[in-house]
Amino acid sequence: MQKQSVRLGVDIGGTFTDVVLERGEDLFSTKVLTTYSAPEEAIVEGMARVCAQAQIDPAQITQIIHGTTLATNALIERRGAKTALITTEGFRDVIEMRTESRFEQYDLNLTLPPPLLPRNFRYTLKERMQADGQVLKPINRAEIESLVNEIKQAGFESIAVGFLHSYVNDAHERLVADVVGEHMPGAMLSLSCEVSPQMREYERFNTTIANAYIKPLMKTYLDRLKGRLNGEGAVCPIFLMHSGGGIISLENAAEFPVRLVESGPAGGAVFAAHIAARHRLDKVLSFDMGGTTAKICLIKDQTPKTARVFEVARSYRFKKGSGMPISIPVIDMVEIGAGGGSLAHVDSLRQIRVGPESAGSEPGPACYGRGGTRPAVTDADLVLGRLDPNNFAGGRITLNAEASSAALATHVGDTLDMESQTAAFGLCEVVDENMANAARVHAVENGENLSEYTMIAFGGAAPLHAGRLCEKLGISRLLVPTGAGVGSAIGFLRAPFSFEATRSQFMRLTDFRSDLATDLLRDLTQEATAFVSSCDAQAEIEAQYKVYMRYSGQGWEIPVPFDAALAQSPDAARFEALFEREYQTLFGRSVAGMDIEITVWSVNAATTAAAAQPLPPQPAPQRLKEAQSRSLFDPASGQMTRAAQWRRAQMAIGAELDGPAVIEEEETTIIVPTSRCARALSDGCIEVIARSTEKGAAQ
């Protein structure tokens, strides 16, 4: 008899660690406060809880898929290893000079984020490759040995190597790796030709340094996690969610930990895309709000938008160029410091500001009773009646409303001469407007009209704020899926094994070389497929192809997908036609008479995704009669009102109710504003729609 598949999804967030166990079609979930000093302890506690719910032993788990913010936090908080950079002579200061662009043009006091490594941690060697890969200045092995010994004496734990044009010819980087292996066998090593083999030195060097910087920390954590889980009896394979929306092995994750940056949010986007596919939605705004941050992602044709460069730790909100660029495949989303634990204060202009500083789980919001005294978004939600103090996190945490009111009064109300309730309303309006602005900016940058979109909300705090956010954005339809409070962890269980291989190979279409393109795409396909096969040797693997193209003279490229037939027989005319179609879609017109260039080639290999199951038929609507009610703040009237109160588990399929209403479940709470109505769909989703569209939605 074949062993039943039992899979565990684990998402470590800034406040809570979400754990989901899947056994067949059954899901069991829990939320545990994140243990910062030893994150694996929260995982073990959560695993014990869900195993108890499912009445199984940890030894019966067949697969664990994990996503974490530890890599991101280590970069933001500068808690990495002592790392050295070895680069080409003359390029020592690339990561400090950046691109020389001013992301805030008129700020006379503009402060650039400091580089990840100080100047005395950056070393050079006399070597040089040309852009075509020809050796311009040979490297000297004796000089490498001398430099490596100097680095060894300085006590560096990790080394990043990034030479000019090594993405075309990696011979010099490989030679350095050989010498480091001989003289410093215990050191961690990251080569730019492996981590990010793409053009643009600043992004490539910074990505390689980031990988080296967090590699010892992440490898130690992953080894510790594996040992801890094995000690609990879970001896199954462990996989990691990567930022591109797929799964890689624990060994590959330890080698390339920079790919784990944004792994948690990527799981959320995969979760939303899965819901979009079930509902046959082509335009979805994914809204993920947890304890520390809020993430917003556009999903078109049931596929999250992707990018190959993103920024960590932006010093200016929404300002591209103000953060640390990481050049890896990533799901494109906007992330801001707006979560349940985000702290509020009043600035010098007597304005309420929220985030990006977060109370996290230690000490947490004031209402947690763990030592926090400053007001967080959760405190405001509690004062406004959105949370039941006795049923938070499944009843495992009792919230103190008096502590929330006191914190709001002390830090906001007294300064602005307002009551705690008004201060709570102001705090929530600020955080909701911050998220709405982020969504607007993201939509404008992608040429999208959000009024045409359906929002899918998940994460512990998102359903509390999603209804109000839809009002602000003009979105008429909201879906809150089953398991929304632990959506990212469920997304891990829906993600395919995948790996995207990229390489820079500059080529003008007027000088297109079909033979070179064929060989390059074949090598990339083999590289990506090998990574996926290391996770599941028996699975069917599909390859998706993409090139990044631009008009000659432009500073940036656009992604152009193409099919396997073109990959096997590359043709300049077909690439030109595809590029002009994509360019016209983005910018409204193409440019005649200009040469076109390809800069980056990409192949993403992934296991075949299961087809989305069609929705069961929707039964006849059933109007719910109010059984219980509680006091809830109504933003429309600016005062407390009576709202219907229901447990989600008590809402049968087809059940309908009008706002204002509160729908509670174990890991989150759905707030239905006065302007909206809600109904339970046949797949368990709660649909919240504007009353003006209620009739049309019913039809």
Q: What is the pLDDT of residues 129-173, one digit of tens each?
A: 998 889 999 999 999 999 999 999 999 999 999 999 999 999 999
Instruction: Say yes or no to pLDDT of 440 above 80.
Output: yes
**For residue 506, is pLDDT > 60?**
yes
How far apart are the C-alpha atoms of 476 and 67, rounded to whole Å? 32
Is the pLDDT at 666 greater than 90? The verdict is no
Neighbours of 28 (CB within 10 A): 19
Mean pLDDT (the chain, rounded): 89
Report the SS3 class of residue 158: strand
Residue 19 has pLDDT above 90, yes or no: yes
Bridge partners (DSSP) listed for residue 598: 507, 549
- Helical (H) or strand (E) element with 270: helix 263-278
Evaluate if residue 2 carries a pLDDT over 60.
no
Other beta carbons less than 10 A from residue 297's beta carbon = 25
- What sections of 67-170 are H helices per DSSP? 70-76, 94-97, 141-153
The pLDDT value recorded for residue 699 is 40
Residue whose C-alpha is closest to residue 396's, from 646, 20, 30: 30
**Per-residue pLDDT averaged across 336-345, rounded?**
85
Range with the lowest mean pLDDT among 253-262, 315-324, 448-457, 566-575? Answer: 315-324
Q: Flag whether pLDDT at 123 surpasses 90.
A: yes
Does 294 score more than 90 pLDDT?
no
Average pLDDT (370-381) is 91
Q: Is the pLDDT of residue 83 over 80?
A: yes
Q: How far is CA 422 from the centre of its chain?
A: 33
pLDDT at 471 over 90: yes
Q: How many CB atoms lie within 10 A of CB 287?
A: 28
How sure is the predictor about 458, in pLDDT bands with cuts at 50, 70 and 90?
Answer: very high
Q: Where are the beta strands (DSSP E) in 156-282?
A: 158-162, 188-191, 238-241, 247-249
Task: Name the band, by pLDDT with cuts 50, 70 and 90, for residue 696.
Answer: very low
What is the model's pLDDT at position 695? 47
Residue 315 has pLDDT above 70, yes or no: no
Q: What is the mean pLDDT of residues 101-113?
A: 79
Query: Please, what's the b/e burial string for 678-696 (b: 16 or more CB within 10 A of its CB; e: otherwise)?
Result: bbbbebebbbbbbeeebee
Q: How confident is the model at residue 638 (pLDDT cuts 50, 70, 90)?
A: confident
Q: Which segment of 287-291, 331-335, 350-354, 684-688 scores lowest on mean pLDDT?
A: 331-335
- Whether the CB-CB separation of 456 and 479 falls below 8 Å is answered with yes
Q: What's the average model confidence in pLDDT over 194-218?
A: 93
What integer pLDDT is reported at residue 324 of this predicted model? 81
| 108 pLDDT tier (thresholds 50, 70, 90) | confident
Exposure class string for 273-285: b at 16+ Cβ within 10 A, else e: bbbbbbbebebbb
Return the number of other C-beta atoms located less than 10 Å from residue 617's C-beta.
Answer: 7
Best mean pLDDT range from 149-158, 344-353, 523-532 = 149-158
